[in-house]
């Protein structure tokens, strides 16, 4: 039992803290997420509500990451959805859904993978809901985007980039040093 005047010390300090209490363990996570830009166009209303032709959907994705502070990046999941028929566009939804991601003590490869694979995976369900709500609010059935494997897409992009580098003659030197 400790008395009022006793000073208690932690005999088992946090192993994650380095010398002098420095935090040197890798960590990454979401600080905040938000809609940065949302545009919903219904250019042929009210005529398009009389069209009976099934629209062709075109969905485009783009992922960007920008450093905003020493340990903070803004990841943008940009989604553009267009519903077209032979009579014209039914709707166009353009969304930039962002997340502020905090990262500390991550090696460059792990940081890149977090920003371009894991962060979009975290943001996608929320962006998907915004798209569904926007299409419904424009007077159409909710557009429910299929789940995406951002990790697999990231690996495909890395492989394509590596193949592109080899095609440009950027092969490592061969021989003895």
Which residues of the chain are under the pLDDT cut of 70? 1-22, 169-177
Domain 29-142 annotated CATH 3.10.420.10:
yes
Nearest to 130 by CA among 34, 45, 3: 34
Nearest to 77 by CA among 40, 128, 32, 27: 128
For the chain, the domains span: 29-142
Strand boundaries in 42-71, DSSP class E: 56-69
Q: What is the dihedral of CA 107, 108, 111, 115, to 10 degrees?
A: 180
Roughly what angle, to the nearest 10 degrees, separates helices 150-167 and 119-137? 110
Residue-level pLDDT at 166: 83
Nearest to 113 by CA among 173, 172, 164, 154: 154
Nearest to 82 by CA among 35, 123, 116, 48: 48
Residue-level pLDDT at 163: 86
Q: Which residues pair with 80 in a beta bridge?
A: 60, 94
């Amino acid at each position: 039992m400790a008395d009022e005047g006793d000073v208690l010390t932690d005999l088992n300090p946090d192993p994650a803290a380095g010398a002098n209490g420095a935090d040197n363990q890798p960590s990454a996570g979401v600080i905040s997420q938000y809609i940065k830009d949302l545009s919903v166009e219904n250019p042929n209303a009210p005529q398009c509500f009389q069209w009976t032709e099934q629209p062709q959907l075109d969905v485009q994705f783009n992922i960007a990451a920008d450093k905003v502070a020493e340990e903070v990046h803004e990841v943008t999941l940009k989604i553009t959805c267009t519903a077209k028929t032979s009579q014209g566009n039914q709707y166009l939804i353009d969304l930039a859904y962002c997340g502020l991601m905090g990262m500390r003590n991550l090696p460059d490869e792990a940081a890149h993978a977090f920003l371009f694979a894991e962060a979009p995976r975290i943001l996608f369900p929320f962006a998907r809901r915004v798209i569904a709500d926007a299409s419904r609010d424009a007077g159409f059935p909710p557009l429910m985007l299929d789940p995406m494997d951002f990790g697999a897409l990231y690996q495909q992009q890395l492989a394509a980039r590596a193949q592109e580098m080899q095609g440009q003659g950027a092969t490592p030197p061969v021989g003895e040093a």
